[in-house]
Chains A and B, each alone.
Chain A
Amino acid sequence: MSRSLRSLNTPNKISISFFLLSIIIGTISALIMLGLLLSEADSGLNLPSVEKIKLKYHYPELVAAMKTTMYEYVADDADIEVVANWISNGSSEEVFEQSIKPIMRRDCTSCHNPTSTMSDAMPGMPLTTYAEVTKHTKAGYSWVKMAKQAHVHLFGIGTFLIIVTTIFAFTSFPSWIRSTLITITWTALLIDVLCWWITKYYLIFAYLIVGAGSAMSGGIIAMAGLALLDCWIVIPFLSKKTQAVATDSDA
C-alpha cells in the first residue's frame, strides 16, 4: 500500500529530504555551469545565449571553437570569418595551404600539434595538416560525439529522474499536478536531446533546446522542492491533510 511522504518515519524523511536537497543544489549548479559556458558572463546564474547554442550544435566545430572556447587565442577576429568562408566554400586544400594554414600556425598549432609539450598541449587533436583540420569542419557535433553525449546524458539524468519522479508521485498533491510535472519533465528531457541532433541541420531548433532544457531543469527543481516540503508540512490548497493513500482517485 502506498503512503504519502508525511506518513514516513523521521529517518526516512530526513534521508529523502537530503537527497532532494542535493538534487536541487545539483540542478542549480548545472544551470549555473551551462549559463556560464553558453553566455558571455563569468559569474552568477545566466540564461544561455541562443547564439552560443547555435555555435555548439550547428556551426562547424572549428569555427565554433574559434568563436567561443578558443577565442582568446585568435589574434584577429577577421580570421574566424576567413575560416568559416573556407568551410562553407567546400574546404579546398589549395585555399587551406594559402590562407588557413598560416592562421592555424599563428593561433592554434603551438598547442595543437603532435609534438607539443606546452602546458596546454593538445597533441591528440593536431591541426597541422589539411587532413587534421578538416576533421573539425563538419557542421555541429559529429554523429559519434552526439551519440556519446546523448546516451551519457539520457542514462545519467534518467537514473536520478526516475527516483525524483517516483518520490514526487508519492506526495499528497493532486494527481493532475503530479502527472503534469512528471510528464513535462520527462518529455522535456527527450526533446532537449532530440533537438541537439535536429539543430545540426535546422538552426531554428536551437531555441527549442533552450526551452526544453529550461522546462526539464525547472520541472526537476519544482518536483524536488514540492516533495521536500510535502515531507514536513501541509501546503495550503495543495497537500492532503490526511495521511491517505496517494492514488489517482485523489484527484
Chain B
Amino acid sequence: MKLPLTVLAMASGACLLGALGSCGDAPGDTNSTSTTPAGAAASTDVVSIKVDAPIAIDAKVEAAWDNAPATTITVDKTPYKPSNGYEGMTSTTMTMQSLYDTENVYFLVKVKDPTKSLARFPWIKQDDGSWKQSANKDSTGHDNTFYEDKFAVYWDINTKGFAKKGCAISCHMNENGKVNDIDDTSAGRKYTNAPGETIDMWHWKGVRTGSVGQVDDQYVNNDAPGDNKNWGRHGDTKTGGGYSNNKSEDGTLPAFMNPPSASANTYWIKASDKVAFKDTFKAGDIIPGIIVSPFTGHRGDISAEAVWADGVWTIEMQRKLVTEGGEQDVQFSDLAKTYHFGVSVFDNSQINHVYHEGVQTFSFK
C-alpha cells in the first residue's frame, strides 16, 4: 500500500498546483459587464450592418440593434494627472455597435460610468447673498470637479501614422512647460504632424451638446497657436447656434436663467427659453452656468440622444454617410473600405480622458 498512498499524495499535490495555476482571470471574465450585450466580441473591429428603415435617434435600443455585433473596447490610459486631484475614472469599458442605411450611419455606444456628471460650472447663491460660479481648475486651467461627462470618436481622414497609433498620432504632451518649443501651460495639445493632415473629431458633450441632441462635430489639423488658440482643434463650420457661458458682463452674476414656467433644468438653459436673471433666490439655489442651442451648419452634422441609467451612458448617434462638410469630415463614401478610429471617455473632466492605445477599425457589411 506504500506506493499507492504516495502516488495519491502526489496526485493531490498536483491537483493543488493545478488549482493554484488556474486562479487567474478566465478569458472573458472581465467582459461580463452590463455594457456587454450577449455575444459581444472582444475585437477591435466595428462592423456596420445594413438596415432597410431609418433608426430613430432616441437612446432607446430598438430591435434593429440586435443584428449589430457589439465590439468591446477597454479604455485604461490617461494623459496627465491634474495637480488638484482627479476623482474620475482611470479605466472603463464600452461597447460600440453600428448600423447604416442608404443615407445615414448610426452608432450605439454604451459606456460604463458609475456617476452621471452634468454640473458644469453652476452658479450657487451664497449665504451672504452673493453668487459664486463653481469651479476647481488645476494648474493647466482645466476642471475635473464641476464639469460634464463626454465621449469622443476620432476618425482618421488622411493622417500618416493614424492607422497604427490611433489618436496618439496627434497628441503632443507638454515637456518642461513647452509644447513644440512654445511656452504653454496646458497638459498637451492636439495637432497633426504635417500640413494637409486632418482628423475628424466627434465630441459628445453631455451638457453643451447632449442637451440639444447633438454631437459637437469638430476636426484637428496642423495649425500652430499663431493660427488658432486651440492649436489644431477646430469646430466644423457653423452658421449659428452653439453654447456660451452664462455670465454677466462683470462676471459676478449669471446673465440669464430658466423661466419659472419652463421645466427648469439645473445645469443648462436653452437659448430659446432664457430670461434675464432676476435674483429672487435663496442661499444654496443653483442657476445653470451655460446657455445652449443646437448648432446649424456642419458643426451640427451629427445627431445624438443619450441616457444614463444604472451606471451606463447609452449614446445613440446618427450622421450622413457623406456630408457636405468637405475636408472637415470623414466621408463614408466607400463602403468597401476599412476606416480607422479611436475613442476616449471623459468622466466629468475638461481635458483628462481615458483612452486606448492603438487603433480601432470600422467597416461596412
Q: Which size class do A's interface residues fall under?
A: 20 to 34
Within 8 Å of chain B (Cβ to Cβ): is A105? yes
Complex interface: chain A residues within 8 A of B177 (CB)? 115
Contact with A along B168-205 (1 / 0, CB 8 A): 11011111110010000000100001000000000000
Distance A74 CA – B90 CA, assembled complex (angstroms): 25
Q: Are A115 and B176 in contact (CB under 8 A)?
A: yes
Nearest-neighbor residue (CB-CB) of B16 within chain A: A18
| A17-B176 in contact given A76-B160, A117-B81 (Cβ < 8 Å) | no
Distance A207 CA – B226 CA, assembled complex (angstroms): 55
Within 8 Å of chain B (Cβ to Cβ): is A73? yes
Which of A13, A74, A118, A232 makes the CB contact (< 8 A) with B80?
A118
Within 8 Å of chain A (Cβ to Cβ): is B77? yes
Within 8 Å of chain B (Cβ to Cβ): is A41? no
Nearest-neighbor residue (CB-CB) of B83 within chain A: A117
Q: Are A14 and B173 in contact (CB under 8 A)?
A: no
Q: Are A106 and B76 in contact (CB under 8 A)?
A: no
Complex interface: chain A residues within 8 A of B19 (CB)? none
Distance A118 CA – B270 CA, assembled complex (angstroms): 37
Complex interface: chain B residues within 8 A of A116 (CB)? 173, 175
Q: Are B168 and A73 in contact (CB under 8 A)?
A: yes
Distance A107 CA – B14 CA, assembled complex (angstroms): 47
Chain B stretch 1-56: residues in CB contact (< 8 A) with chain A: 2-3, 5-7, 9-10, 13-14, 17
Within 8 Å of chain A (Cβ to Cβ): is B79? yes
B127 to chain A, nearest CB (A): 37
A69 to chain B, nearest CB (A): 13
Q: Are B165 and A75 in contact (CB under 8 A)?
A: yes
Distance A246 CA – B14 CA, assembled complex (angstroms): 29
Within 8 Å of chain B (Cβ to Cβ): is A199? no
Q: Are A109 and B176 in contact (CB under 8 A)?
A: no
Q: Are B176 and A114 in contact (CB under 8 A)?
A: yes
Q: Are A14 and B10 in contact (CB under 8 A)?
A: yes
Q: Are A109 and B173 in contact (CB under 8 A)?
A: yes
Q: Are B168 and A128 in contact (CB under 8 A)?
A: no
Q: Are B168 and A232 in contact (CB under 8 A)?
A: no
Within 8 Å of chain A (Cβ to Cβ): is B357? yes
Q: Are A232 and B77 in contact (CB under 8 A)?
A: no
Complex interface: chain B residues within 8 A of A18 (CB)? 10, 13
Distance A10 CA – B13 CA, assembled complex (angstroms): 14
Within 8 Å of chain A (Cβ to Cβ): is B161? yes
Dominant SS among interface residues on chain B: mixed
Complex interface: chain A residues within 8 A of B81 (CB)? 117
Within 8 Å of chain B (Cβ to Cβ): is A94? no
Q: Which size class do B's interface residues fall under?
A: 35 or more
B234 to chain A, nearest CB (A): 21
Q: Are B10 and A73 in contact (CB under 8 A)?
A: no
Contact with A along B261-273 (1 / 0, CB 8 A): 0000000000000
Complex interface: chain A residues within 8 A of B325 (CB)? none
Q: Are A118 and B79 in contact (CB under 8 A)?
A: yes
Distance A232 CA – B10 CA, assembled complex (angstroms): 11
Distance A118 CA – B2 CA, assembled complex (angstroms): 61
Distance A25 CA – B171 CA, assembled complex (angstroms): 43
Within 8 Å of chain A (Cβ to Cβ): is B60? no
Q: Are A75 and B161 in contact (CB under 8 A)?
A: yes
Distance A109 CA – B178 CA, assembled complex (angstroms): 12
Within 8 Å of chain A (Cβ to Cβ): is B78? yes
Complex interface: chain B residues within 8 A of A13 (CB)? 6
Within 8 Å of chain A (Cβ to Cβ): is B358? yes
Contact with B along A87-130 (1 / 0, CB 8 A): 00000000000000000011101100111111110000000100
Within 8 Å of chain B (Cβ to Cβ): is A72? yes
Complex interface: chain B residues within 8 A of A117 (CB)? 80-81
B9 to chain A, nearest CB (A): 6
Which of B2, B14, B176, B188 makes the CB contact (< 8 A) with A110?
B188
Distance A106 CA – B222 CA, assembled complex (angstroms): 13
Within 8 Å of chain B (Cβ to Cβ): is A208? no
Within 8 Å of chain B (Cβ to Cβ): is A21? yes
A42 to chain B, nearest CB (A): 13
Q: Are A118 and B77 in contact (CB under 8 A)?
A: yes
Sample of 9 further A-B pairs with CB below 8 A, known A75-B164, A118-B80 = A10-B2, A18-B10, A109-B173, A110-B79, A113-B173, A116-B173, A117-B81, A119-B79, A119-B90
Pull 28 A–B residue pairs with CB atoms less than 8 Å apart, ordered by A. Answer: A10-B5, A10-B9, A13-B6, A14-B10, A72-B164, A73-B168, A74-B164, A75-B161, A75-B164, A106-B193, A107-B165, A109-B175, A110-B168, A113-B173, A113-B176, A115-B174, A115-B176, A116-B173, A116-B175, A118-B77, A118-B79, A118-B80, A119-B76, A119-B77, A119-B90, A128-B176, A232-B3, A232-B7
